[in-house]
Chains A and B, each alone.
Chain A
Amino acid sequence: MAPDLSALFAVRAGDYRAGVRQCTPAELPDLLATLLAGASGVVLPAGTPPDWTTRLGPPTLSGDTLTAAELDAPGLAVLTGCALAVAETGTLVLDGGAAQGRRLLTLVPDHHVCVVRAEQIVADVPDLVIALSDPTRPLTMISGPSATSDIELNRVEGVHGPRRLDIVCLPPA
């Protein structure tokens, strides 16, 4: 993927109040540990690469078995990868595949940290629709933390979904 797509993705995701950081694969474990240091526990979906979690301080929980009520415990964070990402809009796309898990894992906890590889980034939404390997999987497109414009049409972040979204971008392999 062209490096300019990564740069555009980072800017656009930041525009909608996601925290965006770039790092090398070697720096990733420490950066994730820093981002997740304040969590009471970190939810991990099946298929999370083991080297992501080598430095984590808080206890890790398997995303496979947690109920919605358990996910609602105060201070939980969730760490995922993604299926694809869109540069133009700063959007993450999850399809329930490896390191993503069920849809409610990235919804109920208050803090979502997502790792994006540069080669997962496509230019715009039409490219995304073409690039999806299986459009019938449950898809969630995420652009920033949850928000509302329902009060005087002023955007407020943090309604029912996670109030904080942190994105970590890895360079092309």
Chain B
Amino acid sequence: MTRARPQRGRQLPIVAVTPFPRAAASALRDTRLRANLGRATRTIREKRAAVVAEVPDWERLRDRAARVKDDVIDRLPQLVAQFARAATAAGATVHHAVDAAAANAVVTELVRAQGVDRVVKVKSMATQEIGLNEALAAAGVTAVETDLAELIVQLADDTPSHILVPAIHYDRGQIREIFARRMPGFTADSDDPAVLAGAARDYLRRTFLAARVAICGANFAVAETGSLVVVESEGNGRMCLTLPDTLIAVVGVEKLLPRFADLGDFLRLLPRSSTGERMNPYTSIFTGVTPGDGPRRLHVVLLDNGRRRIAADPVGRAALRCIRCSACLNVCPVYERVGGHAYGSVYPGPIGAILSPQLTGQDAGHNATLPYASTLCGACYDVCPVKIDIPAILVHLRQQGPKPAAERAAMAWLAWTMRDRRRWRAALRTARAGGRPLRVLTRRHGGRLRRAPWPLSAWTTHRDAPLPADESFRDWWSRTRGS
């Protein structure tokens, strides 16, 4: 595969252009956003908990799924080759894209070859990650998102804020306004979700029937059979997978599963974790092309875009197990308050905080701030269907990533001090002496310091600092047990 030239001046939509703390601060001032997110995540959390509780062997399922995905990460090149052989034998054409630019170039070329200026799209995180719609637009091709939430976001000229529900930050009233402003022929004065969904159906019907090229992603790709699996709710996926002549699938290599039988576990885990349903309304599984049913041409673009590099990191590689269910977003106290846009990536929330910096490298934009976008409470690990220890990876990335100069200096001094008992005791004595006069001043706040002078102010902007105890344990021991 020839490497296309990178598009200059365009950051991938997985690069944060604002440091997370600054982006979060402005999101926190939006009370309507907080209300919308709180309501939506509470709804989905309750539904998920109910259907997960129905499955007696849930923990065993998670363990098995994690093992299968680890095996995939261990054998990526081998499984990629196996999938390519099986899919090709079934009539698909397989392309390998090393990065976003290469994938965009391949897809653009395939669309051009069909001579169309409009394509329909199934919701796909991989195409979001590489900024495919923008690349197609630059080549004069309009990509029409057909998933209801993606359509809402597209009509609003916005970006997705959630992996599963890209328009989670809007309430029904806002969605009605967007439709009234941007959807031709929309006249409904109701903001009832059923009415809004019906309007999207009418609006997209013609588009589906006229579409000649569709672009999709895949939830799973089976190496053994060369099959692709698309899991959805609305039927827009089935429309795109069966009506047009040409179908182009963009699939991250981590979506592979070794055997078809592996789908049994994953198709139980995904809907329950994702939408809180026992099963999503529609799942399509297709292998190559089938004469007389569906597209005549199937192209599969297998995307690396940093995945093999992540696979080489013994701790960070577990992020590649992710099946994009979004359960971690819905339980995250940080995500629930700041929303998806604060993360500056199409992958928001806890999984985004470990995926975006690893896909791009921590030197890209402000992605190095993302591993700090967490309280390390561990709720994400508890709900993850493939048991990604997100807090452990966050800590790992913090250790690897850049640190502020002041913090580096403080830690170096502390390390030097703690290496020697005499230095350490002297330092504690100094701290106690310094803390004593402050004890009176801070009595109102339970003996905690609300604001420290610079450079310690960097610490106390967001938290109180405890004062050192009046007496160290060693002093107390020698005073009371007298030696």
Residues of chain A within 8 A (CB-CB) of B288 are 136
A120 at the interface (CB under 8 A from B): no
* Interface pair A158/B278, CB less than 8 Å apart: no
- Which residues B395-421 have CB closer than 8 A to chain A? none
* Interface pair B36/A159, CB less than 8 Å apart: no
* Interface pair A89/B278, CB less than 8 Å apart: yes
B140 at the interface (CB under 8 A from A): no
* Interface pair A145/B36, CB less than 8 Å apart: no
Knowing A104-B243, A150-B165, the reply to whether A139 touches B279 (Cβ < 8 A) is: no
* Interface pair B39/A156, CB less than 8 Å apart: no
Residues of chain A within 8 A (CB-CB) of B43 are 152-154
Q: Chain B interface residue count: which class?
A: 35 or more
* Interface pair B281/A158, CB less than 8 Å apart: no
A126 at the interface (CB under 8 A from B): yes
- Binary CB contact string for chain B from 265 to 289 against chain A (1 if under 8 A, 0 otherwise): 1011000000101111111111110
* Interface pair A151/B233, CB less than 8 Å apart: no
* Interface pair A103/B204, CB less than 8 Å apart: no
- Tell me how far the C-beta of A103 lies from the nearest C-beta in chain B, rounded to whole angstroms: 5
Cα distance, A129 to B268, chains bound together (Å): 11
15 contacts between A and B (CB under 8 A): A68-B209, A96-B293, A126-B264, A129-B260, A138-B287, A140-B285, A142-B282, A147-B234, A148-B148, A150-B152, A151-B172, A152-B40, A153-B40, A158-B198, A160-B208
- Which residues A112-152 have CB closer than 8 A to chain B? 124-130, 135-152
* Interface pair B227/A140, CB less than 8 Å apart: no
Output the nearest chain B residue to A157 by Cβ-Cβ distance.
B194
Q: Which of B39, B281, B287, B290 contacts A147 (CB 8 A)?
A: B281
* Interface pair B235/A161, CB less than 8 Å apart: yes
* Interface pair B279/A90, CB less than 8 Å apart: yes
Cα distance, A124 to B168, chains bound together (Å): 31
Q: Which of B148, B197, B208, B294 contacts A103 (CB 8 A)?
A: B294
Output the nearest chain B residue to A142 by Cβ-Cβ distance.
B282
Residues of chain A within 8 A (CB-CB) of B204 are 160
Shortest Cβ-Cβ A-B pairs, 6 listed: A161-B235, A126-B264, A160-B235, A89-B279, A159-B234, A150-B149
* Interface pair A143/B209, CB less than 8 Å apart: no
* Interface pair B197/A159, CB less than 8 Å apart: yes
Cα distance, A33 to B147, chains bound together (Å): 35
Q: Which of B36, B209, B260 contacts A152 (CB 8 A)?
A: B36
- Tell me how far the C-beta of A141 lies from the nearest C-beta in chain B, rounded to whole angstroms: 4
Q: Chain A interface residue count: which class?
A: 35 or more
B residues lining the A interface (CB < 8 Å): 36, 39-41, 43-44, 90, 146-149, 152, 165, 167-168, 171-172, 175, 193-194, 196-198, 200-201, 204-205, 208-209, 222, 225-227, 233-236, 238-239, 241-243, 260-261, 263-265, 267-268, 275, 277-288, 290, 292-294
A164 at the interface (CB under 8 A from B): no
Listed residue (A15, A126, A146, A159) with the most chain B CB atoms within 10 angstroms of its CB: A159
Residues of chain B within 8 A (CB-CB) of A141 are 267, 279, 282-285
Output the nearest chain A residue to B36 by Cβ-Cβ distance.
A152
Cα distance, A150 to B274, chains bound together (Å): 12
* Interface pair B242/A103, CB less than 8 Å apart: yes
A30 at the interface (CB under 8 A from B): no
* With A103-B294, A147-B233, A148-B193 already in contact, 10 other A-B pairs whose C-beta atoms are closer than 8 Å: A90-B279, A103-B284, A126-B264, A143-B277, A145-B281, A148-B234, A157-B194, A158-B197, A160-B146, A160-B204
* Interface pair B293/A150, CB less than 8 Å apart: no
Residues of chain A within 8 A (CB-CB) of B197 are 148, 150-151, 156, 158-159
* Interface pair A107/B242, CB less than 8 Å apart: yes
- Tell me how far the C-beta of A161 lies from the nearest C-beta in chain B, rounded to whole angstroms: 3
* Interface pair A102/B234, CB less than 8 Å apart: no
A111 at the interface (CB under 8 A from B): no
A residues lining the B interface (CB < 8 Å): 12, 15-16, 68-69, 72, 86, 88-91, 96, 102-104, 107, 124-130, 135-154, 156-162
- Tell me how far the C-beta of B269 lies from the nearest C-beta in chain A, rounded to whole angstroms: 10
Output the nearest chain A residue to B90 by Cβ-Cβ distance.
A136
Cα distance, A93 to B423, chains bound together (Å): 72
Residues of chain B within 8 A (CB-CB) of A90 are 278-279
Output the nearest chain A residue to B239 by Cβ-Cβ distance.
A160
- Tell me how far the C-beta of B264 lies from the nearest C-beta in chain A, rounded to whole angstroms: 3
* Interface pair A149/B242, CB less than 8 Å apart: no
* Interface pair B44/A153, CB less than 8 Å apart: yes
Residues of chain B within 8 A (CB-CB) of A158 are 194, 197-198, 201
- Tell me how far the C-beta of B174 lies from the nearest C-beta in chain A, rounded to whole angstroms: 10
Residues of chain A within 8 A (CB-CB) of B194 are 156-158
Listed residue (B39, B172, B225, B285) with the most chain A CB atoms within 10 angstroms of its CB: B285
Cα distance, A90 to B292, chains bound together (Å): 29
Residues of chain A within 8 A (CB-CB) of B44 are 149, 153
Cα distance, A68 to B196, chains bound together (Å): 24
* Interface pair A152/B39, CB less than 8 Å apart: yes
Residues of chain B within 8 A (CB-CB) of A142 are 281-282
Q: Which of A91, A129, A143, A160 contacts B234 (CB 8 A)?
A: A160
* Interface pair A146/B235, CB less than 8 Å apart: yes
Output the nearest chain A residue to B43 by Cβ-Cβ distance.
A153
Cα distance, A145 to B194, chains bound together (Å): 13
Residues of chain B within 8 A (CB-CB) of A153 are 40-41, 43-44, 165, 168
Residues of chain B within 8 A (CB-CB) of A149 are 44, 165, 233, 275
Residues of chain B within 8 A (CB-CB) of A126 are 261, 264-265, 268
